[in-house]
Amino acid sequence: MSRRPIARSPDLLRLQNEGYDLAIRGGYLLVQDVPYVTSTASVARGVLVVKLDLSGDVANRPGDHVAYWIGEHPCHADGSKLSAFFNPTGPQDLGHELKVNHMFSAKAAYRDYHHKVTTYVGRIAGEADKVQPGVTARSFPAIAEDADASVFKYVDTASSRAGIGAINRKIAGQRVAIVGLGGTGAYVLDLVAKTEVAEIHLFDGDVFSQHNAFRAPGAPTIEELAERPQKVARFADIYARMRGGIIVHDHFVDEASLDSLAGFDFVFICIDQGAAKRLVVAKLEAEGTPFVEVGMGVIANDDQLTGIVRVATSTRTTRELAARHISYADAEDLDNQYATNIQIAELNALNAAMAVIRWKKLFGVYRDSRGDFHQGFSLASGEIVSEGER
């Protein structure tokens, strides 16, 4: 994980300059090589872990008094357990290969992270100094060049604050494709971009027009609309501010470009052209790739809007079940009343959220007790009808 917050935060930089062995991983500050007393009254080394509260790459004041510990529970010099910050919580997996053994709770109004870290380390290492005089956590380690392996350009403190880093990492490293960046596809990108997938491939050959501004995330300027940017380039530029791994394919998917859909872990199909969708579905089925196909049918009736928002989830075990729910009607097909092109931003966002939730369920982020291969939301009744394989 990047060390930028250490360089840009006076309190963290002070800790580093004083010789503490610091690292940042998944929104947590690690203070490594801290001496402590074991239950046998011997000295060992452990790791103090605290959540980081950041604004960009700069540390805020600590948001809580909690800390975590990797190692045996620290003891007094006589081997009796330090009780000042004892907490009965057991081992936890914080994600990012960060598994802690204990959680501590030393309540205080910490001014900054230097204050918090030195308070905890002082209590822990102070007992070790009684057993082995001169032992210290200030080891002045060599500092390696920053090699940031994260896809994000700043630390994901949302996951660490919620303690769900290990759960969210179940989809880390995936290669994901979004076919179609209309209203729903753009919202899918907005949600997927905030995950740790390694690559997000965007497929669309269209320009970002004025009507797109009213059914996609964000707020383009009139000058931007006048430039008529390509959709994939525009959205890639926006989300590249936050993360890497966004790859553009500035074309519609057709027979000549089908091979570009090979090798993905998951695909979101967000297009309403029937012929193109048939090609995409057939290719993904042949590849054995799981995918979600989204769609909505909204009509004006008696001066109001009504209709459905739906997702079909196709995996190796639900191919035939999902197939009967995939629509191949074109948006402009006047013979099909539900093949209209009425799209509203909140429905696009809902459609995208339903699709992303299904993806995350497939890979164990969310609990899935049904194995849904089809979900439909009725605007009129507010009901969600689901069909599952279990």
Nearest to 194 by CA among 219, 221, 162: 162
Q: What is the mean pLDDT of residues 225-252?
A: 95
Q: What is the mean pLDDT of residues 64-82?
A: 95
The Cα 139–Cα 45 span in angstroms is 12
pLDDT tens column, 29-42: 999 999 999 999 99
Task: Specify the 3-state DSSP secondary structure of 80.
Answer: coil
Q: What is the mean pLDDT of residues 169-179?
A: 95
Has residue 339 got a pLDDT over 50?
A: no
The Cα 70–Cα 72 span in angstroms is 7
Has residue 137 got a pLDDT over 70?
A: yes
Going by the DSSP 8-state scheme, the letter that residue 134 receives in this structure is T
Report pLDDT for 334. Answer: 43
**Residue 306's beta-bridge partner residues?**
299
Cα–Cα separations (whole angstroms), residue 254 to 19, 47, 66, 106, 364 = 59, 54, 54, 61, 32
Nearest to 323 by CA among 286, 281, 273: 281
Has residue 47 got a pLDDT over 60?
A: yes
Q: What is the mean pLDDT of residues 158-169?
A: 82
Report pLDDT for 251. Answer: 95
The Cα 139–Cα 374 span in angstroms is 57
Question: What domains can be seen in the chain, in order of their start residue?
Answer: 4-150 (no CATH), 173-388 (3.40.50.720)
Confidence of residue 336 (pLDDT cuts 50, 70, 90): very low
Nearest to 192 by CA among 264, 111, 277, 95: 264
Q: What is the mean pLDDT of residues 68-92?
A: 91
Q: What are the tokens at 49?
A: 């872990």
Query: How confident is the prediction for the chain on average, in pLDDT?
Result: 91
Q: What are the tokens at 195?
A: 């995950």
Report pLDDT for 146. Answer: 53
Alpha-carbon 125 to chain mean position? 36
Q: Which of 162-166, 177-181, 329-333 has the lowest mean pLDDT?
A: 329-333
Contact 285, 315 (CB under 8 A): no
Confidence of residue 149 (pLDDT cuts 50, 70, 90): low
Report pLDDT for 87. Answer: 81
First to last CA, the chain: 40
Contact 370, 390 (CB under 8 A): yes
Percentage, residues of the chain above pLDDT 70: 95
- The rounded radius of gyration (Å) of the Cα atoms in the chain is 26
Orientation of helix 183-192 relative to helix 231-239, angle to 10°: 20
Report pLDDT for 338. Answer: 40
Amino acid at 294: V
Nearest to 182 by CA among 134, 221, 214: 214
Going by the DSSP 8-state scheme, the letter that residue 288 receives in this structure is T
Give the CA-trace dihedral at 370, 376, 377, 381, to 10 degrees: -100
pLDDT tens column, 182-222: 989 999 999 999 999 999 999 999 999 999 999 999 999 99
Contact 361, 300 (CB under 8 A): no
Confidence of residue 350 (pLDDT cuts 50, 70, 90): very high
Going by the DSSP 8-state scheme, the letter that residue 98 receives in this structure is -
Nearest to 205 by CA among 177, 236, 244, 179: 179
Amino acid at 88: P
